[in-house]
Amino acid sequence: MMIIIISILFVIIIKNSYSNPIIKTYPVVDLLENIPLNTFVIELTNSSNKLILINLNEFETKLFSIINGNIYTKDLIDREEFIDKKYCLDKFYCKIELQILVDDGLAYWIIPIHIIDENDNKPEFAKNEIELKFVENVSNGYKIYFEGAKDIDEGKNSEIRYILDCSNSLNNNNNNEILYLNQSSINCYPLFELILISKSSLISLSNNFDKLALKFNPSLSKKNIENEYKFIIYAIDNNQYGKELINSMNLFIKIEEKDKNFIKFLLSEYEFIVLLNETLNKNENLIGKIHAISNNPSDLIYYKILSNNNKTNLIKINSLTGQLNFINENNIKYINNDIEFIVEAYLLLKDKNFKKLKTQIKVKIYFRYLHLLKNISFEFENILFNNQNDIYQLNNNSNYFFINKNIKINEKLLKISLISYYYPNDKFIFSLENYFNTFSLIPFSSSLINTYIIKLNQQLISNYTYLLNIQIKHKLSQQYLPNLLII
């Protein structure tokens, strides 16, 4: 039926194009969502014009009707459904346009209708409950960030205010009582404060929530700090002309005892790579930085390298910053070995006669020469076992292959292996840069590095040349090598 209507419209417009049909756009009509059926919308004409409501988007004739020159509603108008089904021209200001064909094409009327939002959606939290953990002797003002709520209503109806209920009971207050409170917290200050960091963006209402933070002020409270708290966060929307809608989220807080003294590295192991040109120079090269922390930000942490051999003599560490440097004091021209050593971080505890508190970590440094990284070759193997003639190399040691166009979809065609002469244990990453729909590139196995398989995803085109562009990246250094081309 839709095809027939569009076809008739097209013929009519072509037929009357020579007579310059009059196009008229009406002023915007405001229409409240969820109004009763058969509600009057707008008067179009009081004459006997022939009016046809065009069903361009497949909702017009279902929801509206023309009776005696007037437009009426004939079904429920739901703004959120309009946005979800993309009937609205703009998802933030829901406006639709009804197209009216007048007197078989002599005129064309456009009726813009703004669907006014009714406050029919309560705020929705990202989660029903969350747990936050604070350390008991953290400094005042320490904040933990988390997601709040969102409201998919329009304009003022989408604005949310929050109330943090710290009465330490999950069922203590009635929602109706909460609605009339003109405050942001109940029995919270000064130990806890709820802060609105940012409001949800209109760009992505589907998954964007307000950003909140809970501030903890342990030394401001005159009461003893408990180990656990059970709070409620209320989200209340804005409705100037009716009852506000409310929702809530449970908030569980744990106060953990802080270790008196500790020191630890930020990572479980540190790895660095030094990229070199063809020969080493005598200059100092920055490698990277390792970093340890303690429970007291004012502690002074020291670093030192424990291993003492010829390899580690090339590596120096700043005892105060943890900065690692490569220094070629002996003017070595070439280095082919990776270096592995232990670094110790320690601090001196003044309250225990300067007893040393320490921790250790393993550090690996890889040296790679850029010109040697590029010294690679490729091996190709036909793995289409059903018929070896369906794919074959046109010339030995070339990247040219013939493929039978009748090969079945999902067949594995070719195994490609990369051989690195100087760094055989390094991993190289392959990625297909074109023909994604026709071919795919997958690792051969998890245990065998640098070997991939070309797989057929869809039927091949007869007498067509496919120039596959495969990007090669050295994983350790993140350096890109010349692309592999397969024809």
Provide the pLDDT confidence category of residue 8 given band limits of 50, 70 and 90: very low
Total-model pTM: 0.45
Of 151, 148, 153, 145, nearest to 125 by C-alpha is: 148
* Total structural domains within the chain: 4
Domain boundary among 256, 290, 306: 256
Same structural domain, 327 and 384: no
Domain boundary among 342, 369, 396: 369
User: Rounded distance, CA 132 to CA 401, Å?
Assistant: 60
CATH of the domain at 331: 2.60.40.60
Same structural domain, 36 and 20: yes
What mean pLDDT value characterizes the chain? 81
Same structural domain, 322 and 423: no
Domain boundary among 223, 239, 256: 256
Residue 7 is predicted with a pLDDT of: 36
Residue 45 is predicted with a pLDDT of: 81
User: Rounded distance, CA 67 to CA 61, Å?
Assistant: 12
CA distances from 189 to 5, 134, 136, 143 (A): 66, 16, 17, 14
Same structural domain, 28 and 52: yes
Residue with more model confidence, 75 or 18: 75
Of 250, 249, 278, nearest to 368 by C-alpha is: 278
Q: Is pLDDT at 328 greater than 90 in this prediction?
A: no
- Cβ–Cβ < 8 Å for 323, 343: no
DSSP 407: P
Residue 294 is predicted with a pLDDT of: 85
Same structural domain, 157 and 212: yes
Same structural domain, 194 and 101: no
Same structural domain, 231 and 272: no
Same structural domain, 361 and 399: no
Residue 189 tokens read as: 């200050």
Helix, strand and coil content of the chain, in percent to the nearest 5, comes to: 10, 45, 45
Residue 388 is predicted with a pLDDT of: 58
Residue 129 is predicted with a pLDDT of: 93
Residue 289 is predicted with a pLDDT of: 92
User: Rounded distance, CA 236 to CA 126, Å?
Assistant: 15
Same structural domain, 222 and 188: yes
Residue 168 is predicted with a pLDDT of: 63
Give the residue numbers spanning the domain of 316.
Answer: 263-369
Same structural domain, 129 and 252: yes
Same structural domain, 316 and 342: yes
Lowest mean pLDDT among 49-63, 349-363, 468-482: 349-363
Q: Is pLDDT at 66 greater than 50 in this prediction?
A: yes
Same structural domain, 239 and 134: yes
